[in-house]
Structure 1
Amino acid sequence: MAAPTTTPRKFLGRLSLPERTFVADALRAETVGGVLLLVAAVAALLWANVLGGSYEAVRDFHIGPAALGLDLSLQHWAADGLLAIFFFVAGIELKRELVAGELRDPKAAALPVVAAICGMAAPAIVYAVVNAVGGGSMAGWAVPTATDIAFALAVLAVIGTSLPSSIRAFLLTLAVVDDLFAILIIAVFFTDNLNFAALGGAVVGLGVFWLLLRKGVRGWYVYVPLALVIWGLMYNSGVHATIAGVAMGLMLRCHHREGEEHSPGEHIEHLVRPVSAGLAVPLFALFSAGVSVSGNALHDVFSRPETLGVVLGLVVGKAIGIFGGTWLTARFTKAELNEDLAWPDVFAVAALAGIGFTVSLLIGELAFAGDATLTGEIKAAVLMGSLIAAVFSAALLKRRVRTYQALCEEEERDDDLDGIPDIYEQDNPEYHLRMAAIYERKAAEHRRKAELAGASRGEGDSPA
C-alpha cells in the first residue's frame, strides 16, 4: 500500500471568508487613521518650522493633578495617555489573532512571528553596526525596530489597492506581532525606578478588571473609571503607562459564543478603534513630529551615526529582515509560497514595513530622554527613514499592480450573485448546480437571440 502523500502547506494563501472580511474592515479603519496621521505630522512640521515658539509653548504646557503625580505636559499626555488607547486596540487585535486569526494555528503563526522577529532584529543589528563603526550611542538600538501599521496601510490603500487579501493580512498580522515585541521592549528596557506600591495597585486593578469581565458585568461607567485608575497607577509605577492599555486589551474575550454575532472584544474594538485612529494617534503625532527641518538638520541625519543608524535600520534592516525571515521559513520548512504570488510581492511588503512612525517616535523619546537636541534629530531620522521606505515600497508595489488587479478580480468574482465570492464555493456541490443553471440560462438566451436574428434576416430576404 502506497504511503499517503502530503500536500505542502501554502503560506500567503487564500484566507477564510470571515477572516478576509475582518481584514478588509481593519484595513479601512487603519487607512483612514493613516491619512489623519499624515495630516497631523505635516501640520506639526509646518507649525514647528513656521511658528516654532508657539509650538514649543503649547507642547510643553503642563496640566493635570500634581498630587496624583500627573502634572504632565501635553506632549506627555499624548505619549503616555492617548497612546494607551492605541495599545489597548493593539492588545485586542493580538488577542483576536491568537484565538481566531492567523496566530491561532502554531504552524500558520510561525511565518509572521519569524518574519516579525527578523524584522526587528535586523534593524537593531544595522543600527548597532553603524554606531559601532561611527562611535555613536547604542541607546537608540530599538528605535528602528517598530512598524507603523496605520501609515503602512495608508500607503497600501493608495498604491496597492489591488493587493491580494492574503498578503494584506500578512502585513496586518506582522504588525500586530511587531507591536507585541515593541511593547515588551518598552516594558523591559525603558522601565526604571519602579514604585512597587503603585505597580501592585495596578496589578490589583487589572485583576478586578479581569474578574468583572468574567462575571459578565456590563457598562462603560464601570470599566472606564477603573481603566483610568489602572492607567494612573501604572504611570506612577515607573512602567510605561501604555502597558496598562495592552494588558486590558488582552483580557477581553475575542471568541464567539453560541448566538453571538460579535464577541465582546470585537464589539469594543469597533467602538474604540475610531478614537484611537482618529484622535489618539494623530494628536500624538501633532505633539511629537514637530522637529526643525533645515539644511544642517538633514545633513546631520545622514552624517551622525545615531540618526544614520535609524534611517538605515528602517529602510534596509526592515526590508532585509522581514524578507529574509520569510524566505528562510519557506526554504527550511514544508511551507510554499502561494502560486498566485511572487517573491517580489513579499519584498515590497517587507519594504513597506520600514515605515516606523508612531512607536519609533515614542521609543526615540524614551531612549534619549536626557538629550533634547539628539531626541529632535532622532525624530527627524524617523521621519526621513519612514519617507524613504514609503517611496521605495510604493515604487515596488506600483510595478506589480497589474498582477494584483488580476488576482483581486478573481477573488471578487461572484457569477451566481449570492454575495459570496465564487472562489470560496468551488468545493460546494450546490455552487456547481447554480453555476450550471446560470450557464444553461445564458446559453438559452444566446440561442433565442440567434433565432430572432435569423428570423429577422429571413424576413428581410423574402420578396415584398
Structure 2
Amino acid sequence: MTSQPQGPDATPDEPHFETTTGILERYRRTVENETNAGLLLLLGAAVALLWANSPWRGSYQDLAAFEVGVPWFDLTLSLGHWASDGLLAIFFFVVGMELKSEFVTGSLRDPRKALVPILAAVCGVVGPVAFYSITQLVTGSGEFGGWAIPVATDIAFALAVLSVFGKGVPVAARVFLLTLAVVDDLIGIILIAVFFAGEINVLALLGAAAGVVLFAVLVRLRVHPAILWPVGIATWAFMHSSGIHATIAGVVLGMMVTARPRDGEEHALTHRYVGALNVYSAGLILPIFAFFAAGVSVVDSGGLGAMLADPVAVGIYLGLPVGKYIGIFGGVALMIGVFRLRLGDGLHLRDIGAVALVAGVGFTVSLLIAQLSFSPTDPHEAHARVAVLLGSLIAALVGGGALRVRARHHGRRRREHHERTGETLDEETI
C-alpha cells in the first residue's frame, strides 16, 4: 500500500489504510470494464478445470458436493447447487432489471430500430437448435435432450470480446450485439421456465406469485432495500419449491423494479440497483458459478477425445459458433435482401458476420441449461459442459479474428475518406 498524508496533521511517513468502502469502489470500477468482467469469468472456469483434472480433483468434487442447509426453509443444497440455484438468481435479478430498462427506455423501446437485432436473436436461437438436432439425426444418436444448450449468448463474455478485438468498428455493432444478447437472454429464460420445470407445486407457485406482487408494491412505495431483500428471498424459496427453476424468481422480481425516475429522482431504480449489484453479480457471483459449473474431470470421463466425439458434444461445440453464425448472419441477410430492412449507421452485413460469430460465446446460461438438460450421473452432462467451454472458446477466437479484420477495413475506409476529402468521417466507433 502507498503511504500518503491524510489531513493537516498527517506526515508523509504515516501509513494510509484503504477503507473497505474504498476497496469495494475500486473493485466495482474494475468489474464495470467488460474486458475485466470477462477475464474474471474465464479465471473462475480455468481454476475449476485445472483443479478438477489435477491429482487433487477429489477435493474439488467434495467441495462442490458439500451440503449447506437453511433451517428456515427446510432446504439443503450442495455448494454447486447453491451457486446455480441461489447465487445465479441474483445475476438473473440484474438481468431482469436490465431487460426492463431496455424495454422501457433503452434499445428495445422503439420496435422499428430494434426489429433487426430482435429477429436476429430469434434466428440465432433457431440456428443452433437446428444444427444440434441435425447432428443427432445424422449420427443416429437420438440424444435430443441437449437441444437448448447452444442457444444462449453470454453478454459479459461477448461484450468483452467485442471490446478487445472490435476497436475501430462502428459503435452500432455494439448496440446490435447488446440488443441481440438481451433478447437472447429473454428467450433462454423462457426456455428454462417452460421446458425445464419439474412437477409443479401449485401452493408453492401461488406463494411465489404473492411474493412477486408484494415485492412490486413495496418497490413502488420506495421502501428501503433492506425490506425488499427478505421478500425477494422468500419468493425465491417458494419458486424453488414450486418445481420451476429458482432463477426465474430473480428475473420476474427484476422486471418488477421501476425503470423510469419519479419527479425529483435523478435515476430510475433499475439504474441504481443494477449499479449497486453489478459489483457482486459480475465480480463475484458469475465467477463463483463458473468455478462450480466448469469443473469437469476429463480424466475421469474417458479422455478429451471420447468426450468430443460424443454427438451431444459435437452438436454443442459446433452449434454455438456455426449454428449461431448461420442463424444470425443468414437471418439478417434475408431481412436486408428480401424485406429491405436497414442496419445501424456505418454497419455492413460483413460486420454482422463478425458479431454473429461472437454471439456464439454461450458460457453462463448454456452451462446452466447443460446442468438442467441431463442428470448429473449421465455422462452426457459432463460432455455437454466441456462442449460449452470449447464452443465458446472457438466462437471467441474466430469472432475476435473476424472483428480485427473488420476493424482494419473500417480504419482504411476512414483514412481513404480523409485523404480524398480532407475531412474526418463523423462516425462513432468502439
User: Given the alignment of the two structures, is residue 263 of structure 1 paired with residue 268 of structure 2, yes or no?
Assistant: yes
Q: Which residue of 2 aligns with 1:90?
A: 95
- Distance in 1 (CA, whole Å) between partners of 2:345 and 2:403 is 18
Query: What is the aligned partner in structure 1 of residue 174 from structure 2?
Result: 168
Question: Quick check: 1:301–1:308 contact (8 Å CA) kept in 2?
Answer: no
Q: Per-residue deviation at 1:257? A: 3.7
Residue of structure 1 equivalent to 2:317: 311
Any idea what SS the aligned residue of 2:197 has?
coil
Q: Which residue of 2 aligns with 1:233?
A: 238
Percent of counterpart pairs with the same letter?
A: 46
* TM-score w.r.t. length of structure 2: 0.85
3-state secondary structure, aligned to 1:378: helix
Instruction: Choose the corresponding residue for 2:135, options 130, 133, 138.
Output: 130
CA distance in 1: counterparts of 2:350 and 2:67, whole angstroms: 49
Larger radius of gyration: 1
* Cα shift at 1:296: 4.9
Which residues of 2 match residues 194-343 of structure 1 at below 5 A? 194-214=200-220, 216-293=221-298, 296-338=302-344, 340-343=346-349
The equivalent position to 1:31 in structure 2, one of 35, 55, 62, is: 35
Change (3 A) 1:184 1:105: same
Structure 1 equivalent of residue 393 of structure 2: 387
**Matching residue within 305, 325, 350 for 2:356:** 350
State whether structure 2 residue 122 is matched by structure 1 residue 117. Answer: yes
Say if 1:113 and 1:174, in contact at 8 Å, map to a contact too. yes
SS in 2 for 1:400: helix
Partner of 1:155: 161
SS of residue matched to 1:260: coil
Contact kept, 8 Å, 1:124 with 1:145, in 2: the verdict is yes
* Equivalent in the alignment of 2:67: 62
Q: In structure 2, give the amino acid aligned to 1:45.
A: L
How far apart are residue 42 of structure 1 and its match? 0.6
1:340 is paired with a residue whose SS is coil
Over 3 Å counting, the alpha-carbon distance change for 1:407 and 1:177 in structure 2 is: farther
- Whether 1:49 and 2:53 are equivalent positions in the alignment is yes
SS in 2 for 1:138: coil
Question: For residues 301 and 315 of structure 1, do their structure 2 counterparts lie closer, same or farther at Cα, with a shift above 3 Å needed?
Answer: farther
Q: Distance in 1 between matches of 2:132 and 2:243?
A: 27
Query: In 2, Cα distance between the equivalents of 1:256 and 1:332?
Result: 41
- Alpha-carbon separation, structure 2, partners of 1:423 and 1:246: 36
Given that 1:99 and 1:254 are in contact with CA atoms closer than 8 Å, whether structure 2 keeps it comes out as: yes
- Asked if the contact 2:172–2:346 (Cα under 8 Å) also holds between the matched residues in 1, the reply is no
- Alpha-carbon offset, residue 381 of structure 1: 0.8
Report the structure, 1 or 2, having the larger helix content: 1
Structure 1 stretches lacking a partner, 5+ long:
1-24, 410-420, 425-464
Q: 8 Å contact 2:31–2:283 — kept in the other structure?
A: no
Unaligned 5+ runs, structure 2: 1-28, 416-424
2:197 is the counterpart of 1:191: yes
1:348, 1:237 → 2: CA distance?
Answer: 41
For residues 327 and 426 of structure 2, what CA distance do their matches in structure 1 show?
36
Contact 1:192 1:238 (8 Å CA) reproduced: yes
Residues 292 and 408 of structure 1, relative CA distance in 2, 3 Å threshold:
farther
